[in-house]
Chain A
Amino acid sequence: MTADSTTTTTTINTTTHTNTNTTTTVTDDRLSLEFFRHTPICTIILDASLVIRQVSDSFLDIAGLGSPTDALGLHFDDFVDRVAALPTLVSARKPLRNAQETLRPSELKHLDVPDGSAWNIRIVPILRHASLRYLQMELTDVTTEHQRQLDLEERLYTNETFRILVETVKDYAIFMLDPNGNIATWNAGAQRFKGYKKEEIIGKHFSNFYSQEDRDIDKPGRELADALRDGRVEDEGWRYRKDGSKFWANVIITPVYRGQTLLGFSKVTRDLTERRSAEVKLIEAYEEASKLKSEFLANMSHEIRTPMHGMLSALTLLLDTPLNPEQRELAHVIEESGEILLHVINDILDYSKLASGCFSISTDIINVSEILQTIHRAQEKCRKPGIDLQTYIDPKLPKAAEGDSLRYRQIVQNLMSNAMKFTEEGYVHVHAKLHEEDDEYYTILTEVVDTGIGIPSEVSGSLFTPFMQFDNSATKRYKGTGLGLSICKSLSELMGGHIGFYDNPEGHGSVFWFTAKMKKVQHVKDIDDLHEELEQLTLRTSTSPFEDVKHAAVGKKILLAEDNPINQKVMLKMLTSLGFRDIDVALDGRDAVALSIRNPPPYHVILMDINMPLLDGVGATKEIRNAGVQTPIIAMTANALKGQAELYLAKGMNGYVPKPVDRNLLVKILLSWLNSNAPSPTQLRATPSPPPVPLPSEAAPSNSPLPLAPLPSEAAPPNPPLPPAPSEPAPSQPTPSGPVPSEPSPSELAHSEPAG
């Protein structure tokens, strides 16, 4: 560099001498040159014709030039084109010409260059004898300063925006408090809510907005302290206006700091008076509506179902009397219509309960295979000739799981009735498989396969929508409310499952499937014991339920938990007349628990009053179940609404009889718990097994060639024998007239659900 500098110096010396003809000494020249070369301000000297005559080292640096020779002697315009590192020079042309013409200093400030830098350019014309000799150009890098300026403008803009926003907001009172809680700013919303003008309130303490009681307990002070401690405090309560009226407010107080210094608090207040009154109105309206709804439901059940049952019973009696063929046919029409009507009413009741979300799924201990068998037997009765009805049960289905038998049954029954309704020939097959199993739950997949009319693709999307029926033609061939499938959907979802359908892969018809989750049972052994006991019973085909119950009562022990001596006496008499000889009485729930939880469980059935002293029926049931005793418990309740009874079922009870106890109903329920869920061995033998059909099953391990057991052979001893291999000689086809329990199961009673 030193060598370079020397050369440059020499050149300039020469130039100066030749061009200016001055008489200045070399020493002076050297000094001014030195001074010029080393000035930190980037400087270029041009002569009047804009040829570069001198550059400072600082300029060389920023222009990225090695030596002054890269610049000296070049015309400014040519030079500019060469120096790519300094794009700002291009903009210097204009002030340069300006200075050249006006002979006045020209300046360009905060010149933005696309590369993000900013420059100040100053041109000073140097005159001698009023004529232009040189032009001195200075460049200053102001990028940092420029950036700061921009930030500042931005911040000013933001602050201003916020200030305007806050001041003009009318729906919120937004203002600042100083650290002592005195009001420092005020906005339009604050003026509107609180009624104070800015000049009236600034400097006053914010406790003016609080009630006297709040001030007495220093609520404002505590709020500030809380805000300081927690960083924010939110409160809802009454605040007062200037005129003394009050409004329901939501208040948020936040402390505001600059660095470590507390500047004060921001306070945002919303007037919630309208919202609050709307909420109150809404809640009132909701309560009213829900009350009306439950009243309506209760009335529905009472006012329609009761006379319907009466009508149908009378009809049954009428049909037993001698009628001529025409009368008989008319009577059958009435019977059929009545049953459809009853079904419709039940559907609508179920649907409104599902829709209002007050539908509960109970958790009894259930045996899915047995439920399917019962449904199978019931459907067998109304099977059209020419339809093959089969139920295939995965042997791996749990014998006991916690689920809602009533609801599971309802779905299967509904899907099966649909399948039967829409199938004229071919088959209706039910497959139940263990779909998944984890530590806590079984997932059971149930499929109903038919060869019926199938589902047209255009309605498949709305099949599970309430009140949708794809057969909406004027000559409606198939009856129903169109609620069935949507109820099934809600029910399966309540049971943690899904529902769906697809076309029958074997041709026409459809496959409806659903899954249901059932909790694993902790006390399986007890259940098995119970089942063994139950299986020892023989179901006799007798003429009346009273005969049945008298048979079933033999050797059975019953606990009656009832505190009212009169009811006790009546119940005892009733049970005795039904053939029960071994009846214990508990006077309260505590007593009932103590009597029941002995080992082995002493009772076959427990009849439990709900309201009892010391411990009520629900509590007693809970304790009995917690002790691992799974004896069927039948609630006796005077609470008329069905929903309440279902609540008891959900609490671990197995059935219920409304009070006053109707003997016929009691008989049916007792029978179902003493008998029907355990088919007898003789009965099993009486029904020939259909040939087993091997089925591809997701649940069955692929290396097992065992077919799923068709229904009758699976009719459930606790340790079922392996289903017969397909090679075994096939017994005759299933007979439609297999023994069917002569009484409906509790679910039918609770629900009076005619098939179809």
Chain B
Amino acid sequence: MEVPGAEDRIDQATFEQILEMDDSVDDRDFSKSIVYDFFTQADSTFDKMDSSLDAKDLKTLSELGHFLKGSSATLGLTKVQHSCEKIQHYGHKKDEAGSADITEEEALEKLKSEIAQVKKEFGDVQKVLKKFYKDES
């Protein structure tokens, strides 16, 4: 089951696994509910990220990154997942690979751009998924 336009945004095998859980190929109730739950979860996480960024609360940002990383990985939304992982590292004041230390200023700087990036990645993949579920409203 190909998701048109997914390219490298979605890991086919992982997403396929979710699709296989659908009881019926026609309505895709289960996977659709999961995906739309994710949209909601992502939106609310982004809101929390924004306010934590304003509050310079690195620890919470790292936790939020980890949280969304988990669910995006489950759905195979690779690009969102990778951005979230970076947010998790920056929140720990580590570089994007999680190995070298960076300063708090650097971390905040990188977080700001990465949060913008993750929102963009999410927007892209959201469009693809909505199209897939024939909901282009």
Q: Are B21 and A566 in contact (CB under 8 A)?
A: no
Indicate if A17 sits at the interface (CB-CB under 8 A). no
- From 238 to 274 in chain A, residues with beta carbon under 8 angstroms from any chain B beta carbon are none
Q: Mark A617-646, 1 if CB is under 8 A from B, else 0.
A: 000000000000000000000100000000
A-side contacts of B99, CB under 8 Å: 291
- From 576 to 618 in chain A, residues with beta carbon under 8 angstroms from any chain B beta carbon are 577, 609, 611
In whole angstroms, how far apart are the Cα atoms of A663 and B15 in the complex?
12
Which of B30, B76, B97 contacts A660, CB < 8 Å? B76
Q: Are A566 and B73 in contact (CB under 8 A)?
A: no
Indicate if A570 sits at the interface (CB-CB under 8 A). yes
Indicate if B75 sits at the interface (CB-CB under 8 A). yes
In whole angstroms, how far apart are the Cα atoms of A35 and B69 in the complex?
118
Indicate if A662 sits at the interface (CB-CB under 8 A). yes
Which of B17, B69, B76 contacts A638, CB < 8 Å? B69
Q: For A609, give the chain B residue with the smallest CB separation.
A: B70
Which of A291, A577, A611, A661 contacts B74, CB < 8 Å? A661
A564-B70, A638-B69, A638-B70 known; A663-B37 Cβ under 8 A: no
Q: Are A566 and B17 in contact (CB under 8 A)?
A: no
Q: Mark A641-673, 1 if CB is under 8 A from B, else 0.
A: 000000000000000000111110000000000
Q: Are B21 and A565 in contact (CB under 8 A)?
A: no
Q: Are A566 and B69 in contact (CB under 8 A)?
A: no
Nearest-CB distance from A692 to chain B (Å)? 49
Q: Are B67 and A564 in contact (CB under 8 A)?
A: yes
Q: For A659, give the chain B residue with the smallest CB separation.
A: B73
A-side contacts of B20, CB under 8 Å: 663
Q: Are A660 and B74 in contact (CB under 8 A)?
A: yes
Nearest-CB distance from B30 to chain A (Å)? 6
Nearest-CB distance from A36 to chain B (Å)? 99
Indicate if A567 sits at the interface (CB-CB under 8 A). yes
In whole angstroms, how far apart are the Cα atoms of A573 and B34 in the complex?
11
Q: Mark B7-27, 1 if CB is under 8 A from A, else 0.
A: 000010110011011000000
Q: Are A567 and B74 in contact (CB under 8 A)?
A: yes
- From 533 to 563 in chain A, residues with beta carbon under 8 angstroms from any chain B beta carbon are 563
Nearest-CB distance from A216 to chain B (Å)? 29
Indicate if A341 sits at the interface (CB-CB under 8 A). no
Nearest-CB distance from A573 to chain B (Å)? 5
Indicate if B71 sits at the interface (CB-CB under 8 A). yes
Nearest-CB distance from B91 to chain A (Å)? 13
Indicate if A574 sits at the interface (CB-CB under 8 A). yes
Among B41, B71, B74, B99: residue with most chain A CB under 10 A: B74
Nearest-CB distance from B66 to chain A (Å)? 6
Interface residues in B, total, Cβ within 8 A: 24
Interface residues in A, total, Cβ within 8 A: 20
Nearest-CB distance from B5 to chain A (Å)? 21
A-side contacts of B30, CB under 8 Å: 573
In whole angstroms, how far apart are the Cα atoms of A574 and B30 in the complex?
11
Q: Are B37 and A565 in contact (CB under 8 A)?
A: yes
Which of A564, A570, A611, A662 contacts B21, CB < 8 Å? A570
Indicate if B38 sits at the interface (CB-CB under 8 A). yes
Q: For B78, give the chain A residue with the smallest CB separation.
A: A660
Indicate if A30 sits at the interface (CB-CB under 8 A). no
A-side contacts of B41, CB under 8 Å: 565-566
Q: Are A569 and B34 in contact (CB under 8 A)?
A: yes
In whole angstroms, how far apart are the Cα atoms of A611 and B38 in the complex?
19
Nearest-CB distance from B14 to chain A (Å)? 5
A-side contacts of B97, CB under 8 Å: 295
- From 68 to 115 in chain B, residues with beta carbon under 8 angstroms from any chain A beta carbon are 69-71, 73-76, 97, 99
Nearest-CB distance from A313 to chain B (Å)? 12
Which of B17, B33, B70 contacts A659, CB < 8 Å? B70
B-side contacts of A565, CB under 8 Å: 37, 41, 71
Q: For A294, give the chain B residue with the smallest CB separation.
A: B99
A-side contacts of B11, CB under 8 Å: 660
B-side contacts of A660, CB under 8 Å: 11, 14, 17, 73-76
Q: Are A570 and B34 in contact (CB under 8 A)?
A: yes
Q: Are A566 and B66 in contact (CB under 8 A)?
A: no
B-side contacts of A295, CB under 8 Å: 97
- From 24 to 55 in chain B, residues with beta carbon under 8 angstroms from any chain A beta carbon are 30, 33-34, 37-38, 41
Among B17, B18, B38, B69: residue with most chain A CB under 10 A: B17
A-side contacts of B34, CB under 8 Å: 566, 569-570
Q: For B99, give the chain A residue with the smallest CB separation.
A: A291
Q: For B76, give the chain A residue with the smallest CB separation.
A: A660
Q: Are A663 and B17 in contact (CB under 8 A)?
A: yes
Q: For B11, give the chain A residue with the smallest CB separation.
A: A660
Q: For B18, give the chain A residue with the smallest CB separation.
A: A570
Among A563, A567, A570, A663: residue with most chain B CB under 10 A: A570
Nearest-CB distance from B95 to chain A (Å)? 11
A-side contacts of B38, CB under 8 Å: 566
A-side contacts of B73, CB under 8 Å: 638, 659-660
B-side contacts of A662, CB under 8 Å: 13-14, 17
A-side contacts of B69, CB under 8 Å: 638
Nearest-CB distance from B121 to chain A (Å)? 17
Nearest-CB distance from B73 to chain A (Å)? 5
B-side contacts of A573, CB under 8 Å: 21, 30
In whole angstroms, how far apart are the Cα atoms of A564 and B63 in the complex?
12
Q: Are A577 and B21 in contact (CB under 8 A)?
A: yes
In whole angstroms, how far apart are the Cα atoms of A317 and B74 in the complex?
27
Q: Are B70 and A567 in contact (CB under 8 A)?
A: yes
A291-B99, A660-B14 known; A570-B66 Cβ under 8 A: no
B-side contacts of A661, CB under 8 Å: 74
- Can you list 26 residue pairs at the A/B interface with Cβ under 8 Å? A295-B97, A564-B67, A564-B70, A564-B71, A564-B74, A565-B71, A566-B38, A566-B41, A566-B70, A566-B74, A566-B75, A567-B71, A569-B34, A570-B34, A570-B74, A570-B75, A574-B21, A609-B70, A611-B66, A611-B70, A660-B11, A660-B17, A660-B73, A660-B74, A662-B14, A662-B17
With A566-B38, A567-B71, A638-B69 given, name 17 new contacts (CB 8 A). A291-B99, A564-B67, A564-B71, A564-B74, A565-B71, A566-B70, A566-B71, A566-B75, A569-B33, A569-B34, A570-B21, A570-B34, A577-B21, A611-B70, A660-B17, A661-B74, A663-B20
Interface residues of A (CB under 8 A from B): 291, 295, 563-567, 569-570, 573-574, 577, 609, 611, 638, 659-663
Nearest 6 pairs between A and B by C-beta?
A566-B71, A564-B70, A660-B73, A660-B14, A573-B21, A567-B74
